[in-house]
Chains A and B, each alone.
Chain A
Amino acid sequence: MSMWRPCAEVERCVGKGAAGEGRSCGETSCSRAGSGVVCGREESGVVGLILSITQIKLDGLSLFVLMAIEIVQPSVGLSKMAVSETHGEDSPYFAGWKAYDENPYHETCNPTGVIQMGLAENQVSFDLLEEYLEANLEATNWGQKVSGFRENALFQDYHGLLSFRKAMASFMEEVRGGKAKFDPERVVLTAGATAANELLTFILADPGDALLVPTPYYPGFDRDLRWRTGVQIVPIHCERSNNFQITPEALEAAYDHARSMNIKVRGVLITNPSNPLGATIQRKVLEEILDFVTRKNIHLVTDEIYSGSAFYADEFVSIAEVLESRNYKDSERCHIVYSLSKDLGLPGFRVGTIYSYNDQVVTTARRMSSFTLISSQTQFLLASMLSDKEFTQKYIKINRERLRKRYEMIINGLKKVGIECLKGNAGLFCWMNLSPYLKEPTIKGELEMWKTIMHEVRLNISPGSSCHCSEPGWFRVCFANMSEETLEVALSRIHEFIKTRKQ
C-alpha cells in the first residue's frame, strides 16, 4: 500500500480541468509532472501495516481494540540533480507550449486556436530539401540494392563518417561565403547543439565555475550549461540603450561580479547571430570580446547556430573570420558550436557540431561525444546533401531571402499598429517591444501581458524575462515556423488587441 503526498507540481498545475493552484488536478498525464505521473500524487515508498492490539479499560470492561498503524519508509533516494529544478522546464518559456498543445491553431479545424510563435523552427525552405531528395535517391538512401546498409549500421566510430565531417566543414564554409576555412579534422559531432553546449561546458569548466553569457539569452542555456555540469551562468548585462550590444564595460562588470562572489570564470559564451535578439554581432564587438577573453586567459564559445539565417550574407561575421585575420593567434581558446536544426530546419535529426581550434579540446570532445553520437543513418543522408555545392549554395541563398521576406512582413505588420521591434537582421524571430503597453514596468507587468497575449490574443510568444532580459516588456516572436497565411492571422489578432488596449 502506498502513501500519497502532493507532488511538487501541484502548485503549478494548469492541467485539463485544472482544479487550480494548490489542489490536485488528478490528471494522469499531466505534462507538468511528467508522463505517467499522477499530478498531485507522489509515491512515498512502501508502507507497511502493523496491527497492534491495545487493551483499553472502559468502565470496568476490557476492550481489545485493533489498531492499524502505518509505517512509512523513506522514499527511495535519487540524485540531487534529479530533484533540482535546473532542468529549467518551469520557466514560462515552456509553459506557453502547454497552452498551445492544448489548443493548437489550425486554419480550418481550429481557427481560433493558439498560434505557436514561441518555437524557433525554420519551415520556409523544406521544398528545397525535398526536391534534392527526390533527385538524389541513390545517394541519400541505401539505394535499390541496400548495399551500404550493413556498413552504415555498424559504423559507430566517434570520429564520424569522414564524408560527413567533410560535408559539414564544407557547408560551414559555404554559409560564411568562403570567408573562413574549416578543417574536417576539427569537426566533432554531437546529437544537436544542446549536447554540444553541455559537452563543451564539461570540458572547459569545473563544477562551481562560471561562464559569462550576455543577456538576453536562449532559455535552454540554463539547462544545457548548468544542469548536469554544476557550472554557473553569470550574466553580462546588455541594455536597449545601445541595442543590447555587448560592451567591454559590461564584460568587465560581469567578470568582476563573479570574482566578488569568489566564482572562477572559465569562459564567455556568445550566440552569433543572437537568440533572442535576431541580430548579428558586429565585427568590432567580436574583436573586443576576443581581446577580453585573451586578457583574462579564458575561453570563448561562439554558438553560430543561426549563421545561415542571417538575411544578408555580408552582414554576418563569424568568429572564424576574425581568427583568420589574426592568423589564428590565440585561437586555442576559441570554440564554435553549430547545428543543422535552424539553418536547414532539421531539429529532429540531432545534428550538432563542435569546431574547436584547440587540439586537446577536439580530442576530449570527441571521446565525450560517445554519449551523444549522431545516427550513422543520418550522417549518411546528409553527407551527400551537404557536399553538393550546387545545392548548398542555392539553398543558403534562397533560405536567406525567404527569411528576410518573412521578417519584413512581420516588422511592417507590427509597425502599422505602432509596435516597435529591435532592428534585426538574422534568425527566425524578432525582438518585439511591448513595454509601452505594460501596466507596470516590471517583470510582473511583463508576465501579466504575456498571459493576456496567450489567453486572449491566443499567441504563444516568449517573454523577455524567460531570456533573462534586464528590462521588462520585450518579447521574442517567431515567424518562420508557419505559413504566410497564419502569420497574417497572427498579425491581425495583434492589431485587434492593440486597438482595444489603446482605447
Chain B
Amino acid sequence: MEVALNNNTHKLLSKIAINDGHGENSPYFDGWKAYDTNPYHPRNNPSGVIQMGLAENQLCFDLIEEWIKNHPEASICSPQGGFDFKEIALFQDYHGLPEFRGAIANFMSRVRGSRVKFDPSRIVMSGGATGAHETVAFCLANRGEAFLVPTPYYPGFDRDLKWRTGIELIPVVCESTNNFKVTLGALEEAYDKARESNIKVKGLLITNPSNPLGTFFDKDTLKTLVRFINEKNIHLVCDEIYAGTVTNGNEFVSIAEILEEFPTICNHNLIHIVYSLSKDMGFPGFRVGIIYSYNDTVVNIARKMSSFGLVSTQTQHMVASMLSDNDFVDHFICESKIRLAHRHEMFIGELAEVGIGSLESNAGLFFWMDLRRFLKEPTFESEMTFWRIIINEIKLNVSPGSSFHCEEPGWFRVCFANMDDETVMVAVERIKSFVLERRMLEIKTKAMAKNKKQCWQNNLQLKLSSRRLEDIMSPHSPLNSPMLRAQN
C-alpha cells in the first residue's frame, strides 16, 4: 500500500532537517532579500540597495592578483605548476599538504607581528570557519551541554554551534556602558544561570577581534577570561578570524601570546583557536578553515573529523605557495591594515558630521553604529521598524543589533570593506541626506504644530523660535529622531 508521500514527507525527515536550526528564518535575512531583488550598481541600478551587511574584505585584491600573475607555478593548471597536478589531485591525507600547514602556521604568526609561533602539526583543516566551529563543538560538548558566548555575537554561531550538534548557547551579556567589554561578573552570572537550569557548561567562545563590535580584547581581560575558564575547568575557544584586520599595529593580543607569556596561567588542554582565510585574505570561496588546538586529543579527533570538510588540495597548493612568500605576506598584511584603517576612518568621519556615532574600534571589516537616539522607543520593535526604513528608504542593507543578540536596541553593524570608494561615497551621501531631510521635516512639522497649538508651546522642551538652526541640527536635539512626528 502506498502512502501519499507529499503530505507525509516532513515526517520522513529528521528533527534536525525540519527544525529552524539553519537560522534562515530570522528576519535578519529580509535585508538580504531586499538586496538580492534590487542590488545597487553604479550604472545599471544606481538607486538599488547597497550591501553593507556582508563582512567581506575586498580592499587588497590587486596585490593578490599581481602575485598570482607573477607566480604561475602556484596553479596546478598552468604549464609551470602542471607537473604537480597528478600528485596534488590524488593527495587526500587529512593531515593536509605539509607545505600548506607550514604556510598557514607562518601566516598566522606574521599576522600577529611574529610575536608568537604556531606549530604546523597542530594545524587541522575544516570547511571554512563554519566547519571549524561545528567540529570543535562536536569534540568538546555533548548534546544538551552548553557554551557561553558574549553578546553581541555573529548570528552564524546559532547554526554552526547548535544545529547538528544539539548544543546550547548561553549569552554572556555585555553592555554599552562599558563599551561592551566582557566582565567577570557577566561570565559568572551566565555560568550560574546555566547551573540553575541544570545545563552543563563545557566552554566559553569568544571572537577576538569581535564580530560585530570590531574591538579586540585587552591583555587583562584575556587573562581574566583564561583564569575563569581554568578555574571552572571549561574550554576556551577563540575565534581569531579577524586577527589580520587589526589596524592598531601591535596592540592586538592573541590567546597564543597569553599562553606564551604566561605559560602556567591555565591548563593548555583547554585552549583552542579557530581561524580562516575568509576575512584576512578575502578568500571566503576557497573554504580554508583552520582549527588550532593546544590539546593533543582534540587535534587528533578534529583531524579525523576534518574528513568531512577538507580543503581542496588545489587550493592548499596555491595557498601554500602564496603564504610562504614572506615578502608578499608582510607587504600584504601591512597594506591591508592601512587600507582598512583609511576606509574605516572615512566612514565614521563622514557619519560624525551628521551626528552619527559608533563604538570606538580598531579591527574587523565593519563598525558598530550607534543609532539609539533615532529609535522612537528603546525597544527591539522600534529597532526593527527603523531598520526597515533604512533598507526601504535609505536603501542600505545594514545588520540590526538584535540579529547579533545584542541586549540593547539601537545598534547596527555596518560593513565597509566590501565595496569600492565610489560606492562608499554613495552610501555616505544617502545616510547624510536622510538625516538632514528628517531634521528639516521635523522643523517644518514643529513650526506647523506651533502655529496650531500656541498654548502647548510652553510644554515643549524646545522653543523653536528661540533656537538657532545649528542647535536644531545638533546631535543632542530630540528632533533628530525620524521616528518622531509632531506628537506632543
Partner of A33, one of B14, B119, B295, B300: B300
Chain B contact residue count (CB 8 A cutoff): 88
**Within B90-137, which residues are at the interface with A (CB < 8 Å)?**
90-92, 95, 119, 121-122, 127-128, 130-131, 134
In the complex, what distance in Å separates the CA atom of A123 from the CA atom of B300?
A: 29
Establish whether residues B296 and A223, one from each chain, have CB atoms under 8 Å apart when the complex forms.
no
A202 in contact (CB, < 8 A): yes
B355 in contact (CB, < 8 A): no
Establish whether residues B309 and A191, one from each chain, have CB atoms under 8 Å apart when the complex forms.
yes
The chain B residue with its CB closest to the CB of A297 is B3
Establish whether residues B13 and A364, one from each chain, have CB atoms under 8 Å apart when the complex forms.
yes
7 A-B pairs whose Cβ atoms sit less than 8 Å apart in the complex: A35-B303, A75-B269, A146-B68, A154-B284, A347-B89, A348-B312, A368-B22
**Within A72-86, which residues are at the interface with B (CB < 8 Å)?**
73-83
A141 in contact (CB, < 8 A): yes
Spot the interface stretch: B76-84, B365-373, B381-389, B430-438.
Answer: B76-84
Establish whether residues B298 and A330, one from each chain, have CB atoms under 8 Å apart when the complex forms.
no
Establish whether residues A150 and B58, one from each chain, have CB atoms under 8 Å apart when the complex forms.
yes
Partner of A202, one of B14, B68, B267, B287: B14
In the complex, what distance in Å separates the CA atom of A194 from the CA atom of B10?
A: 25
A49 in contact (CB, < 8 A): no
Nearest-neighbour CB distance to chain A for B428, whole angstroms, equals: 23
Establish whether residues A153 and B283, one from each chain, have CB atoms under 8 Å apart when the complex forms.
yes
Known: A34-B300, A191-B310, A375-B312. A76 touches B233 (CB 8 A): yes
Chain A residues contacting B9 (CB-CB under 8 Å) are 332, 358, 360
Chain B residues contacting A348 (CB-CB under 8 Å) are 88-92, 312-314
Chain B residues contacting A347 (CB-CB under 8 Å) are 89-92
Nearest-neighbour CB distance to chain B for A402, whole angstroms, equals: 15
A312 in contact (CB, < 8 A): no
Establish whether residues B12 and A333, one from each chain, have CB atoms under 8 Å apart when the complex forms.
yes
In the complex, what distance in Å separates the CA atom of A156 from the CA atom of B277?
A: 13
A4 in contact (CB, < 8 A): no
A432 in contact (CB, < 8 A): no
Chain A residues contacting B278 (CB-CB under 8 Å) are 156
In the complex, what distance in Å separates the CA atom of A84 from the CA atom of B143?
A: 15
Known: A150-B61, A348-B88. A79 touches B164 (CB 8 A): no
The chain B residue with its CB closest to the CB of A41 is B296
In the complex, what distance in Å separates the CA atom of A231 from the CA atom of B139?
A: 17
The chain A residue with its CB closest to the CB of B126 is A371
Establish whether residues B90 and A152, one from each chain, have CB atoms under 8 Å apart when the complex forms.
no
In the complex, what distance in Å separates the CA atom of A137 from the CA atom of B6?
A: 47
**Within B279-303, which residues are at the interface with A (CB < 8 Å)?**
282-287, 295-301, 303
* Chain A contact patch, size range: 35 or more
Establish whether residues B75 and A141, one from each chain, have CB atoms under 8 Å apart when the complex forms.
yes
Residue of A46, A123, A207, A371 most packed against chain B (CB within 10 A): A371
In the complex, what distance in Å separates the CA atom of A126 from the CA atom of B202?
A: 48
Establish whether residues B90 and A376, one from each chain, have CB atoms under 8 Å apart when the complex forms.
no
Nearest-neighbour CB distance to chain B for A33, whole angstroms, equals: 7
What per-residue 1/0 map shows which CB atoms of B8-26 lie under 8 Å from chain A? 1110111111000010100
Partner of A121, one of B77, B90, B309: B90
Residue of B3, B296, B311 most packed against chain A (CB within 10 A): B296
B56 in contact (CB, < 8 A): yes
B422 in contact (CB, < 8 A): no
B-to-A contact residues, CB < 8 Å: 1-3, 5-6, 8-10, 12-17, 22, 24, 56, 58, 61, 64-65, 68-69, 72, 75, 77-79, 82, 85-86, 88-92, 95, 119, 121-122, 127-128, 130-131, 134, 138-143, 159-160, 163-164, 202, 233, 235, 267, 269-270, 278, 282-287, 295-301, 303-305, 307-315, 318
Chain A residues contacting B283 (CB-CB under 8 Å) are 153
In the complex, what distance in Å separates the CA atom of A35 from the CA atom of B235?
A: 21
In the complex, what distance in Å separates the CA atom of A83 from the CA atom of B298?
A: 10
Establish whether residues B89 and A346, one from each chain, have CB atoms under 8 Å apart when the complex forms.
yes
Establish whether residues A154 and B58, one from each chain, have CB atoms under 8 Å apart when the complex forms.
yes
Chain A residues contacting B296 (CB-CB under 8 Å) are 34, 36-37, 43
Chain B residues contacting A142 (CB-CB under 8 Å) are 68, 75
A-to-B contact residues, CB < 8 Å: 29, 33-37, 42-43, 45-46, 73-83, 87, 89, 121, 123, 126, 129-130, 133-134, 137, 140-142, 144-146, 149-150, 152-156, 191-192, 194-195, 198, 202-207, 209, 223-224, 227-228, 266, 294-295, 297-299, 330, 332-333, 341, 345-350, 358, 360-361, 364, 367-368, 370-378, 381
Establish whether residues A370 and B159, one from each chain, have CB atoms under 8 Å apart when the complex forms.
yes
The chain A residue with its CB closest to the CB of B301 is A82
Establish whether residues B130 and A370, one from each chain, have CB atoms under 8 Å apart when the complex forms.
yes
Partner of B141, one of A79, A144, A154, A205: A79
In the complex, what distance in Å separates the CA atom of A195 from the CA atom of B95?
A: 17
Known: A45-B269, A195-B308. A130 touches B128 (CB 8 A): no
Chain A residues contacting B134 (CB-CB under 8 Å) are 371
In the complex, what distance in Å separates the CA atom of A489 from the CA atom of B140?
A: 47
The chain A residue with its CB closest to the CB of B277 is A153
Nearest-neighbour CB distance to chain B for A72, whole angstroms, equals: 12
In the complex, what distance in Å separates the CA atom of A337 from the CA atom of B75?
A: 29
Nearest-neighbour CB distance to chain B for A370, whole angstroms, equals: 5
Partner of A371, one of B2, B307, B308: B308
Chain B residues contacting A209 (CB-CB under 8 Å) are 14
Known: A36-B299, A78-B301, A375-B312. A153 touches B285 (CB 8 A): yes
The chain B residue with its CB closest to the CB of A127 is B86
Chain B residues contacting A77 (CB-CB under 8 Å) are 140, 202, 233
Establish whether residues B314 and A79, one from each chain, have CB atoms under 8 Å apart when the complex forms.
no
Establish whether residues A299 and B12, one from each chain, have CB atoms under 8 Å apart when the complex forms.
yes
Establish whether residues A126 and B308, one from each chain, have CB atoms under 8 Å apart when the complex forms.
no
In the complex, what distance in Å separates the CA atom of A377 from the CA atom of B300?
A: 28
Chain B residues contacting A36 (CB-CB under 8 Å) are 119, 121-122, 296, 299-300
Known: A154-B282, A203-B16. A198 touches B287 (CB 8 A): no
Closest 10 CB pairs of A and B: A34-B300, A376-B285, A348-B313, A375-B312, A156-B284, A347-B92, A155-B285, A367-B22, A372-B127, A203-B17
Chain A residues contacting B1 (CB-CB under 8 Å) are 295
Establish whether residues B285 and A202, one from each chain, have CB atoms under 8 Å apart when the complex forms.
no
Chain A residues contacting B77 (CB-CB under 8 Å) are 133, 137, 140-141, 381
Chain A residues contacting B202 (CB-CB under 8 Å) are 77, 79
Nearest-neighbour CB distance to chain B for A30, whole angstroms, equals: 11
In the complex, what distance in Å separates the CA atom of A445 from the CA atom of B19?
A: 49
Chain B residues contacting A191 (CB-CB under 8 Å) are 127, 287, 308-310, 312
